[in-house]
Amino acid sequence: MAKLHVSTTINGEPMEFLCEPSDTMLDALRGPLALTGSKEGCASGDCGACSITLDDRLVCSCLMLAVESEGREIRTIEGMAHGDKLHPLQQKFLEVAALQCGICTPGMLVASDALLRQNPRPSEEEVRFWLAGNLCRCTGYDKIVRAVLETAAETREQGTRESRQ
Amino acid sequence: MNVIANNKWIGQRTIRPDGVDKVTGRAGYAADTTMPGMIWGKILRSPHPHARIRGINTAKAEALPGVKAVVTARDIVDFPVDKSVMLGIQDMRWMCRNVMAREKALFPGHPVAAVAATSEAIAARACELIEVDYEVLPWSIEIDDAILPDAPILHDFIKFEGKPSNIAGRMEIKKGEIAEGFKQAEVVVERSFATRPVHQGYIEPHACLVSVAADNKTTIWSSSQGQFMVRAMTAHLSGIPQSDIRAIPAEIGGGFGGKTIVYLEPLATLLAKKSGRPVKMVMTREEVMRSTGPTSGSKSTVKIGAKKDGTIVAAQGTFYLQAGGLPGSPIRGAVGCSFSPYDIPNVLSVGFDVVSNRSKVAAYRAPGAPIGAYAVECVLDELAEALKMDPLELRLKNAARQGTKAAHGPVFPRIGYVETLQAAKAHPHYTAPLGKYQGRGVASGFWFNAGGESSAQVNITEDGNVVVTTGHPDIGGSRAAIANICAELLGIDYRRVSVLIGDTATVGFSNLTGGSRVLFASAMVVTQSTEKIIATLRERAAKIWEIDPEAVKWENGAAHPASPNAGQFEPLTLAQLAEKAPQMGGPIGAGVQLNTEGAEGGFGTHICDVEVDVELGIVRVIRYTAVQDVGRAIHPSYVEGQMQGGVAQGIGWALNEEYIYNRDGKVDNPGFLDYRMPVCSDLPMLDTVMVEVPNPKHPQGVKGVGEVPLVPVMAAVANAIHNALGKRFYSLPMSPPKVLQVLEGKG
């Protein structure tokens, strides 16, 4: 069977790629698109290491067909920093050591960002339930949860400061 | 001891050198690596728990368009079973048979052939075309079945007490006279326990990419806890000399001991050699669960006797550990660590290594020790209850201290166990009020820690910065700690130190990342290398100033005259000296290789609170405090991270994780959905208390920290559940169905 042609937008850039009908979005990202920041830990949607957003909705890219990205907007870990400026979540993860081996980190960051976009003031419990789809075997989650809560608090503070100016 | 006072970087929470790469998705893990002309390798695995392999026909697979190579056990160097060939902690007789079944398939998932093809799909299709003639044999999975007199024997060459047996090894430690000891006891508690195999559960599946040129020059990119181990094992199994193999450590996405052996690398190497193409192999999660790791399931009996005042006079443990299909369970950890936190005059600890038709176990964080500690620390809890003593008080009364002859042999130097007990007792957590169906448990644990071979190369760049190369894969932040140490010694900002993991061609031999040894060992070689560099820098300054090198001191990143007598000179900074290097003796660098010695064991004491949902049987850990003697915390955040990570794994082991087998002898839960590791919402914040009793035999006082945190957890949770319900659990996991059974009086 011939490959399918897909036109999509990834991290704000128009992109085109070819894929098999059965390829997942994760296959396409890691294969023809050479965006290997999204990781495959399980291929069954249970570990969250391949988390991306599809039209601002958090999804496991291993559970989505590559062809489903046609005409849609995808965001991956590669689109999180602005040039050489890290996203506040990325900066905070570094500062509080919210990563050890780092394999779950891209998915954790994408999921945390999606949470803060829709709920800038999450409780610890909300963070824990939101991130329950992202497995981490190294950190015990403690520092990850702290990083998300601290980023939320600081972003709100900064927002308040900016709105006062 | 040469511990630096007034540290600027040691003990600071600096940003790890590899951090930005990891938060931006740029870090290169093994599965992220590709090469022009690359093809894909896949493994055909046995569907049977136990079967003789009478023949393999690969003709149809080889004829499939797109297939470039097929290998079977015939292509792998054989290590006959009659002679042990040890490579580090591994016996190559078992490694060669674990990588690919030779005479027999020993578990479902055991590799029997491997294929390389132009796509993963073609390789998978080719695997289906391979015809294997199996003679299916009777099998056993559980210890109880495997040690029955009429159990199917896995290996004819294993004899126990002169007869063919599935008991592949026995280990014993002995101190005093056990029978005499128990005669003195006024209270004795004896209980039996069982644990299930649990997987290390690293999120990154095993992966490698191998390229072999026509002259055998081989490059391996892979995820492992040791590139030198990968090189050596691949060389042994493929017949390619080690000097022709360059093993490049990719970033590692977790290991916890499970990546201290090879699974894919020798097969990919042979496929690459046969096909003339680079071969990439990546396991699926199901392959990881069926065919790698886990750690042993176990059954054990522990008996401890004490006087009425709480003095323990005798302790005996018997530990049966599952090895999987090939010998090698971690009985040393169970036998050797279990009683080591205590000063007990009479100890007998015996372990048995039992083979059965499961995947071969691999190391998992303090291998064997958590299994032993679970039994011992639960019995201690019952003993404390029988004696009407506070459980921490009982431990304090019997705690090992400096001068105690440990059950496993050595006389302890200055150790920090008592300090962990005192810190736990003084912690507000220990006396916080509890609610209904809530309970509190404590437990302690010990791990040997380790030293061993390590190499480092430290080079000063032309612009006066520093590149450190060590040989240990960084599994949890060791680069950050090394940067702190090197910056501290040189007196420069830690951001000027770049820390890299060398491959087997660029740095001297370095043993595995494992055993809680990496920072202990690498800090030593980095320290010595840096000291050599500082000596060179002082010599260079002395030459420029035309004074004696002894009259130059190194301080705050610059050479200074040691005293006013030496003369008046403006300091020469590292950057200035680096700039002058071409005229002043050439490049500045130093390398050190050592077999490091002086590792000291580590101790931890944990407090756990649980709440039991008595309707559903669900146990929730609601508060947890881990106290540990960490020697010296070079980077406190990553030490805490090790402690929290170990605790989370232990909570999973205690409450939910287990290999579940179906009636065909196959693992029934080989994925993250049914193999239930703790997720974020399962856990509370995990408090840590770092007790720092520096190791006097280490330049920075380092002790290993990675393994102790898993050791006490299962017992702490079990003791907390007992405290909450008044009922004891003698087997893991304490999952909802089991909790309900016990609550209903059926357990």
pLDDT tens for residues B205-232? 999 999 999 999 999 999 999 999 999 9
pLDDT for the residue numbered B616: 96
pLDDT for the residue numbered B747: 60
Which tokens sit at A21? 């009908």
What is the residue-wise DSSP string for B67-86?
A: EEEEEEGGGSPP--TTS--E
Contact residues, B window 273-292, toward A, CB-based 8 Å cutoff: 282, 284-285
Mean pLDDT value across chain B: 97
Longest C-alpha distance within chain A, in Å? 60
pLDDT for the residue numbered B5: 59
pLDDT for the residue numbered B158: 95
Which tokens sit at B595? 């077999």
Residue in chain A nearest B205 by alpha carbon: A41
Q: Is A123 on the interface with B (CB under 8 A)?
A: no
pLDDT for the residue numbered B1: 36
Which tokens sit at B522? 């690498």
B476 confidence band (pLDDT: 50, 70, 90): confident
Q: Is A54 on the interface with B (CB under 8 A)?
A: no
pLDDT tens for residues B256-284? 999 999 999 999 999 999 999 999 999 99
pLDDT for the residue numbered A160: 80
Candidates A44, A103, A143, partner chain B, best to mutate (most B CBs within 10 A) = A103
Residue B705: pLDDT above 90? yes
Which pTM was predicted?
Answer: 0.97
pLDDT tens for residues B34-75? 999 999 999 999 999 999 999 999 999 999 999 999 999 999
B2 confidence band (pLDDT: 50, 70, 90): very low
Distance CA B499, CA B17 (A): 7
Distance CA B477, CA A97 (A): 9
Distance CA B217, CA B240 (A): 9
Give the number of residues written for chain A: 165
Least trusted range by pLDDT, from B78-92, B124-138, B342-356: B78-92
**SS3 label, residue B103:** coil
Mean pLDDT of B249-253: 98
Q: Which residue among B20, B646, B677 places its CB closest to the CB of A135? A: B677
A137 to each of B256, B266, B507, how far by Cα in Å?
9, 27, 29
pLDDT for the residue numbered B146: 98
Helices (H), B16-156: 19-23, 59-63, 92-99, 120-129, 143-146
pLDDT for the residue numbered B418: 98
Distance CA B276, CA B289 (A): 31
Contact residues, B window 619-648, toward A, CB-based 8 Å cutoff: 635, 637-638, 640-642, 644-648
Contact B39, B277 (CB under 8 A): yes
Its ipTM equals: 0.98
Q: Which residue has the higher pLDDT, B82 or B166?
A: B166
pLDDT tens for residues B170-194? 999 999 999 999 999 999 999 999 9
Q: Is B18 on the interface with A (CB under 8 A)?
A: yes
**SS3 label, residue B350:** strand
Q: What angle do CA B487, B490, B492 make, to 5 degrees?
A: 55
A1 confidence band (pLDDT: 50, 70, 90): low
